A and B are shown apart, each in its own frame.
Chain A
Amino acid sequence: MTLHDVVLQQIINGLSLGAMYSLLALGFTMVYGIIELINFAHFNIFMVGSFIAMFALQFLGLHGQSRLLTGWPLVGALSLGFASTMLASGLLGVAIERIALRPMRNVRGTAAMITTIGVSYILFNIILLTMGAGAQNYPNPLPQVSWHIGGAVLRLREVLLWSVSLILMGVLHIFVQRTKMGKAMRATAQDQEAARMMGIEVDQIVMLTFFIGSALAGAAGLIFGLYYNNTSFLIGYTAGLRAFTAAVLGGIGNIVGAMMGGLIIGLIEALGGQVLQVRWTDVIIFSILIGVLALRPTGLLGLSTPKKS
């Protein structure tokens, strides 16, 4: 591999990481946009999502590297996997909102945020205690198809990861910008009181937001499992923190900003590790975050949500 190839490969790696961070960052940013709450439970909804997806794939008879699928069976298994995971994770998010967060919606201060940390720890420990601490060998039905671009390798799983993320983000964008529900969401984000006066069911919109955000986290969980072929109770921590950083970098509350932030963080991680050492990854990422915020306190695209009263 020449240096040129290595850099190309790192860009491929970085885009894959970035796509995953973007999907996760969307959940943070949407919830923040609507109710100004940083939802730390999101870290572990992602983690639980990867486990739900693992069970779904195992239910279809896929264990470890036992079976490879191609063609329609692969498409079918993956669609089923994504559908069930996103549904279950979405419902988990809704349940968390309904049970733990709604009673606190109008409490001032940090109570709601602390609650989300508590929920996060509950999910974390439930998986730790029921599934054990060891890494789980993830089902891998993807055939080993790859393309060579010079010395760099592009594998099917990367193409899959990118296309699924792009599709999901595209659908979300259209949903928020073009549909009536999306309009209601944007209205609620701008001014809850006014939205309520215009006849928008704010509670339903908040629930919907949690559902979509958590469903995307579940999808990210499945993608994570397929990409790394591995999951454990710990995966929410680093990925969640980086995704949260991505949301802040892009301008928290801004959907396009979150997608962009995710890709930027992913690329920084891969190229930073190449140029310096991987042990410096967090230092690099957070220095850039602080640098950007010092210059633009609202993040890269942070101004499109108007200030609330």
Chain B
Amino acid sequence: MRLGKTLIPRQARWVALSLGLILTLVGLSAVPGTRAAQKVLYVGITLPLTGADAEDAELIKDGAVLAIEEANAKGGVAGYKIDTIILDSGTATAGQYDPAQAATNTKKLVANIGVVANIGPQMSGEGKAMSAILSEADMATITPSSTNPDITDPKFKDKYRPQGKAVYFRTVTTDAYQGPNMANYFAENLKVRTVYVLDDSGAYGVGIANSFQKRAEEKGVKVLGRDQLNPKEADYTTILTKIKGLNPDALYYGGVEQAGTKLAKQAYDVIPKMIKGGGDGVYSSSLLKGAGFPAVEGWYSTIASPHLNESAELQGWVNRFAKRFGKQPGDYSITAYDAALVVLDAVKRAAAAGKVDRHTVRNAIQNSKVKTLQGTVSFDENGDIKDRTVSVFQILHNPKFPEDDIIHQYKYIGVAPQN
């Protein structure tokens, strides 16, 4: 005893003691992990669940969770129970999705060896921050709503997938179709001859506005100007007054609800009669709630997937969703459900081939041919979905339903022309 006391200094004993404690704690927390390797697999879900995007992110999360719950209720997938790790990528400082937080979340998921794939993100700005990290880890994510084409474009391979293999899969098509197809719709169906283009400075907003503008010009629509909104700014009357002075046939807004809500509200005062439209960023219940009727009346929007949730064969699913979560799904709840189905199917095929880990699951996702709610989903070598349907909606007040009911206040108009 005496010897021990003199040989080991007091400080060192403290260090040893705390090290021992830490090791025990780490060991304890690792126990579920080791068990996971046998019976449980983890799927990450990364979405901006707080902030301006929260309501739509919840709809997406619920879609994915429903698919996984249903699979577990049937006894799991190939003998595995699937657990979700749900992480929030919205922060108070951003007030909406935060790419830095999305990157942190991704690192957290990658560090957990039990995670085989991820579902998300909602926003392209997050995706740009996540993709390279996923590539290094050779782990797939499937986004049900992020549509910026750069992330999967082979041109930007070094930036977004330095390891070469596709890791960023989508169950929606990209703004390479969403923006241009809407430009086609403006030019051909709405007979727009002049347009002013705005974006909200985000990765998604700038990208979709660029692709819209390019196609509009090709179609002979004159772009009278292009400007960028600061989403934290309260006042857009300056830019709207400028647009009013130029008097274009239409205004196109590429961006999400934070700036979109204020834009819709103030545009109703300054340019009430002008044709106004945007991408899937203005397909949103928080836009309906924040700007309200009559300000939002008449706005056009698109989504980057076929419109399904009114179709008859989907009614059963819609009822299951409503029963489980007490609310109506959005179109991106469907693509999220589909994304989860793709992951589950990949796990099944990987298990059948003998080994389930994030690498085999990624390979299996790449070769998917899965029957989902929106039809058979398969991906090209970059991770983009092969079906490239873009649906057009217009906000038309339906007094029979709540004002922020995304299903009933957006009237489905049809598929936007491809060329």
Contact = CB atoms under 8 A, between A and B. Distances in A.
B257 A228 contact: no
Interface string B49-69: 011101100000000000000
Nearest to B260: A135
Interface of A: 1, 3, 5-6, 9-10, 13-14, 16-17, 64-65, 124-125, 128, 132-137, 155, 224, 228-230, 232-235, 237-239, 269-270, 273-274, 277-279, 281-282
Interface of B: 50-52, 54-55, 90, 92, 95-96, 201, 227-230, 232-239, 241-242, 244-245, 247, 257-258, 261-262, 265-266, 269, 286, 289-295
A65 B294 contact: yes
Contacts of A13: 235, 237-238, 241
26 contacts: A1-B244, A5-B245, A6-B241, A6-B245, A10-B241, A13-B241, A64-B292, A65-B293, A128-B92, A133-B52, A133-B90, A134-B54, A134-B261, A135-B290, A137-B290, A228-B265, A228-B266, A233-B95, A238-B233, A238-B234, A239-B234, A270-B237, A273-B239, A278-B227, A278-B228, A279-B230
A229 B265 contact: yes
Contact of A3 (B50, B201, B234, B245): B245
Contacts of B291: 135, 137, 230
A204 to B, nearest CB: 35
A134 B256 CA distance: 12
Given A128-B92, A234-B95, A235-B234, A277 B228 contact: yes
Contacts of B232: 234, 237-238
Nearest to A278: B239
The 4 closest A-B pairs by CB, nearest first: A135-B290, A6-B245, A273-B238, A279-B228
A274 B52 contact: no
A274 B243 CA distance: 9
Nearest to B96: A133
A124 B265 contact: no
Nearest to B295: A229
Given A230-B261, A273-B239, A277-B228, A134 B245 contact: no
A278 B92 contact: no
A133 B54 contact: yes
A133 B244 contact: no
Contacts of B262: 135, 228, 230
A1 B237 CA distance: 15
Contacts of B227: 277-279
B305 to A, nearest CB: 24
B286 A134 contact: yes
B101 to A, nearest CB: 14
Contacts of B265: 135, 228-230
A6 B244 contact: yes
Contacts of B235: 13, 17, 228, 269
Given A1-B245, A133-B90, A135-B265, 12 more contacts: A1-B244, A1-B247, A10-B241, A132-B54, A136-B290, A269-B238, A270-B238, A273-B238, A273-B239, A278-B229, A278-B239, A279-B228
Give the residue among A3, A14, A135 with the most B Cβ atoms within 10 A.
Answer: A135
A14 B241 CA distance: 11
Contacts of B230: 238, 278-279, 281-282
A66 B258 CA distance: 24
